[in-house]
Structure 1
């Protein structure tokens, strides 16, 4: 771990780096070098998923970095087509083989599926088994609303360590963050810079780009930082765990340059006020196994 990057302690005592590299939509041929670059830069968390189609390249990048396995926190996710108890165990084995690792640090259910709650619960119970066997150090979920999370907690034994959700200045997810905190769950931010507004469904919310909002660009100018650095710092100030995605070496390095400044309380509040309450990505309540299998 670096000296400057904060660590978040999960509810089972495992420590997780607060900043990571995401590889959603990273082409396989670019992923390995992006991961190696990030790790050489100082990142110590890499976030992938079975559905991203680049787990093998993430494994290549980790090995290319030259770091010991214990120095890197690796997350992957179970895709909807593998929900169910036995299917989850098989999918985990496949992901582990793709990554060429002997264990995972964090294993997440990629979506809640309200229309198939029994399969969702069965998958989480399989993850609990993997946790008990020491094959993964922590387990959690993605895209869970407070209701989804409470329903899962009421029917399982291990409170999720992490809930990874869409979260950026235009969609701050305060109810989710509050519910997570009440349960001792760390909130991890996907699309932390708001890029989902640009790439999802033809960029229907492309005008809502936090990187160009005048409040954020003014704060960035004040600190001699980029808008992206200010937004990532805002996540850290709130105790969130952002996982920005990039395959460009200069952007990967830029996004890591957030540990030498702090935002004031007024600046944090000003960025909070940018929130529109509008989601850029899929609605978790609308996810159905038949649509995403």
Structure 2
């Protein structure tokens, strides 16, 4: 998929005005999920936009992953979003009713029926990705990815197979603002640690990111951060950070 460098992650957003503001600010990729319980909010925010310009993604939760439930779960999400089709439909986590041999063909059938254009995966391990690839073309893989949780093997897999890695929680829940290395790099570039974290993620050719933001100022700053050019030394300093923080463990 051809995705913009920075999209909007909507977990925790409960006001459609935020989505409308993001569209006005230039956002074109919007990511939600059944478990966020805000698909209707996101749909309301998207209602006045030019649908052809937008990429809308949602994720089936673990109780919608049995083969017989995939289509019903998809239709419920579409109803809440107010859409006939979602551009990208994910398996949110490969657990619960997930079975690659039955879930993924059911998702591909939903795609063939015109309810989604692309099937994505989220929070898969390397082994789970390799198994999934036997049953479906992986459009994208969405994972936690930030300076404190780099998941190099998953990045390598995405690069080898030519699909985007969608990085969620790129600001590590705000922890990047406290990190000495990121603060130092930010000072060198007259930027913020948050901008450095986003610029680091999007410095990889196949990585896009979906930070959450609610205010117009933060929405604008996150989009602009993708244009911050970090030097090789900056990247190396970030890659050398030994701290590990996984915010959303299995």
Gaps of 5+ in 2: none
| Distance in 2 separating the partners of 1:139 and 1:229 | 30
Partner secondary structure for residue 137 of structure 1: strand
Asked if the contact 2:65–2:98 (Cα under 8 Å) also holds between the matched residues in 1, the reply is no
Aligned to 1:21: 8
Gaps of 5+ in 1: 1-9, 199-208, 284-293
- Deviations 1:196-233 (CA, angstroms, capped at 9, x unpaired): xx7xxxxxxxxxx2222111112112222111111111
Number of residues of Structure 1 aligned to a counterpart in Structure 2: 249
The normalised TM-score by structure 2 is: 0.93
1:161 aligns with 2:160: no
In structure 2, relative to structure 1, the CA distance for the partners of 1:136 and 1:69 (3 Å cut) is same
For residue 248 of structure 1, report the CA deviation from its aligned partner. 2.4
Partner secondary structure for residue 154 of structure 2: helix
| Distance in 2 separating the partners of 1:241 and 1:223 | 21
Partner secondary structure for residue 172 of structure 2: coil
1:1-293 to 2 correspondences below 5 Å: 10=1, 15-26=2-13, 28=14, 30=15, 32-63=16-47, 66-113=48-95, 118=99, 120-154=100-134, 156=135, 158-195=136-173, 209-239=175-205, 240-283=207-250
| Distance in 1 separating the partners of 2:89 and 2:242 | 30
- Deviations 1:209-264 (CA, angstroms, capped at 9, x unpaired): 22221111121122221111111111110131110012223212221122443111
For residue 159 of structure 1, report the CA deviation from its aligned partner. 2.1
Partner secondary structure for residue 86 of structure 1: coil
Asked if the contact 2:6–2:222 (Cα under 8 Å) also holds between the matched residues in 1, the reply is no
| Distance in 2 separating the partners of 1:260 and 1:78 | 32
For residue 117 of structure 1, report the CA deviation from its aligned partner. 5.1
- Deviations 1:103-138 (CA, angstroms, capped at 9, x unpaired): 11100000012x7553x4422212111222332111
- Deviations 1:176-209 (CA, angstroms, capped at 9, x unpaired): 11122222232111111101xx7xxxxxxxxxx2
| Distance in 2 separating the partners of 1:162 and 1:261 | 24
For residue 78 of structure 1, report the CA deviation from its aligned partner. 0.2
In structure 2, relative to structure 1, the CA distance for the partners of 1:260 and 1:165 (3 Å cut) is closer
Asked if the contact 2:28–2:53 (Cα under 8 Å) also holds between the matched residues in 1, the reply is yes
In structure 2, relative to structure 1, the CA distance for the partners of 1:91 and 1:275 (3 Å cut) is farther
| Distance in 2 separating the partners of 1:183 and 1:247 | 34
Give me the CA root mean square deviation: 1.7
